[in-house]
Amino acid sequence: MNYIVFDLEWNQSPLGKKDKNQRIPFEIIEIGAVKLNSDRQQTDSFHRIIRPQVYTWIHDSIHEVTHIDYKDLLDGVTFPQAAREFLEWCGTDYVFCTWGNQDLTELQRNLKYYDMLCLLPGPVYYYDAQKLFSWFHEHKKQRRGLEYAVDTLGLKKDRCFHRAEEDAEYTAEVFRRLDEEEIRPYFSVDVYQNPRKKREEIHISYPFYDKYVSREFRDREKIMKDREVTSTRCPACRLPAKRKLRWFMNNNSRVYESISLCPEHGYVKGKIRIRKTDGGSYYAVKTIKNVDEKKAEEIRNKRDSLRKKRK
C-alpha cells in the first residue's frame, strides 16, 4: 500500500462575500503530492497548476500567503483534467495523508462542483499528519503550523512554504518521522460525503475512544431524540453505560456532552457534534471515551455553571 501525501492551494472570491459562489467557496489552483511506499520512502511526485474557472483574480490574502499571481495560472490545466490525472496517478491501493483536515473536504467539494465526485467515493479515510504530530510529539491537542513542525523536528528548510509541492514534501517529511506502529490505528475519516442511510452509518473503534457518524436528518430537532445517536456504550466493554448526566448543550449550540457510568470501567464521557451538510441536512458525530472521576466532575460543574448562566 502507498501513502499519497498531498497539499492544495486554493483561491477564494477576490471581492469577498458578494461574489462568492456558494457551491465552490474555495477554488483549487494547485495540487502537489508525493507517493510513499509502505516503508514511507518517496517513489514518485505529482504537481499541477490549475487555471481557475470561477474566480478570475487572486484574493489579496491568498496572494500574500502563496505569492501566486493570476498570470502564474494561465498556463495551468483545468481542474477536471488535473483532478483526473491526480486520482489516476494515486493508483488503487493507497491511503491519503494531509496536513490538517481541510484539503480532503475542498478536494471533494471541487470535484462535486464539476460533477466528478464519483471518482473519489466517500467516506474518505486518511492520516491527518497535523493531528498526529500534536498528539505524539507534543501530547497536546493544539494544532500547529507545518513550519512549526518542521522546526521542531529539526528538518531541512531549503524550500518555501505555502506552495502545494513544497508543503506536500514537508508534510511527508514530518509524517515519516511519526512512529508507524503508534499512529497506525489513528486514521481520520472525512465525511464530506456523509452517511445518508442507517446502513451507511460509521462506527470506528480507536484504542482510547469510539467514534460514530450518524445518517442524515432533515430536521435538526430529531437528532438528539434518536436512540443510536444518544446511546453511550462503554468503549472498553461495549455494554451500555448508565447515564449519570443527561446530554446537555455545551456553550456552543452544536455540541452536546454527557457522562455515564460503566460498573466495570468507570466513567464514560460522550460528546456529540451536530454538523450541517452542503445540502442543508444535519448529522451527528459522536465520540465516546472512558474518563476518570475528576474529568466527570469537571463536566458536571460545567453543566451546572451553564444552567446558572442561562437562568
Binding segment for Zn ion among 68-76, 196-204, 218-226, 262-270 (CB under 5 A)? Answer: 262-270
Minimum distance, C-beta of residue 244 to Zn ion, in the bound complex (Å): 14
How far is the C-alpha of 71 from the C-alpha of 16, rounded, in Å?
A: 21
Question: By CB under 5 A, is residue 244 in contact with Zn ion?
Answer: no
Comparison of 264 and 297: residue with beta carbon closer to Zn ion: 264
Comparison of 40 and 271: residue with beta carbon closer to Zn ion: 271
Comparison of 68 and 241: residue with beta carbon closer to Zn ion: 241
Minimum distance, C-beta of residue 233 to Zn ion, in the bound complex (Å): 8
301 by Cβ neighbours in 10 Å (0-12 / 13-18 / 19+) ranks as exposed
How far is the C-alpha of 28 from the C-alpha of 51, rounded, in Å?
A: 9
Kind of pairing between the strands at 94-98 and 2-12: parallel
Contact 100, 143 (CB under 8 A): yes
Tell me how many helices (H) and strands (E) the chain has: 10, 12
Comparison of 264 and 278: residue with beta carbon closer to Zn ion: 264
Give the count of residues interacting with Zn ion (CB under 5 A). 6
How far is the C-alpha of 21 from the C-alpha of 13, rounded, in Å?
A: 8
Question: By CB under 5 A, is residue 261 in contact with Zn ion?
Answer: no
Cell of 83: 483532478
Binding segment for Zn ion among 6-14, 237-245, 280-288, 294-302 (CB under 5 A)? Answer: 237-245
Question: By CB under 5 A, is residue 249 in contact with Zn ion?
Answer: no
Minimum distance, C-beta of residue 292 to Zn ion, in the bound complex (Å): 14
Question: By CB under 5 A, is residue 259 in contact with Zn ion?
Answer: no
Cell of 291: 474518563
How far is the C-alpha of 96 from the C-alpha of 6, rounded, in Å?
A: 7
Q: How many CA atoms lie within 13 A of 273 on its CB side?
A: 9
Question: By CB under 5 A, is residue 291 in contact with Zn ion?
Answer: no
By Cβ distance, which residue is nearest to Zn ion? 234
How far is the C-alpha of 68 from the C-alpha of 29, rounded, in Å?
A: 9
**Cα–chain center distance at 145:** 15
Contact 72, 161 (CB under 8 A): no
Binding segment for Zn ion among 113-121, 159-167, 205-213, 261-269 (CB under 5 A)? Answer: 261-269
Among 44, 264, 297, 304, binds Zn ion (CB under 5 A): 264
Minimum distance, C-beta of residue 121 to Zn ion, in the bound complex (Å): 35
Minimum distance, C-beta of residue 182 to Zn ion, in the bound complex (Å): 25
Per-position x/- string for 170-199, each x denoting binding to Zn ion as judged by CB under 5 A, each - no binding: ------------------------------
Minimum distance, C-beta of residue 287 to Zn ion, in the bound complex (Å): 16
Among 149, 262, 272, 299, binds Zn ion (CB under 5 A): 262
Contact 132, 186 (CB under 8 A): yes
Q: CA torsion sign, 70 to 74 to 76 to 81?
A: positive
Comparison of 90 and 262: residue with beta carbon closer to Zn ion: 262
Report the DSSP beta bridge partners of residue 98.
Answer: 128
Report the DSSP beta bridge partners of residue 6.
Answer: 33
Site residues, Zn ion (CB under 5 A) = 234, 236-237, 262, 264-265
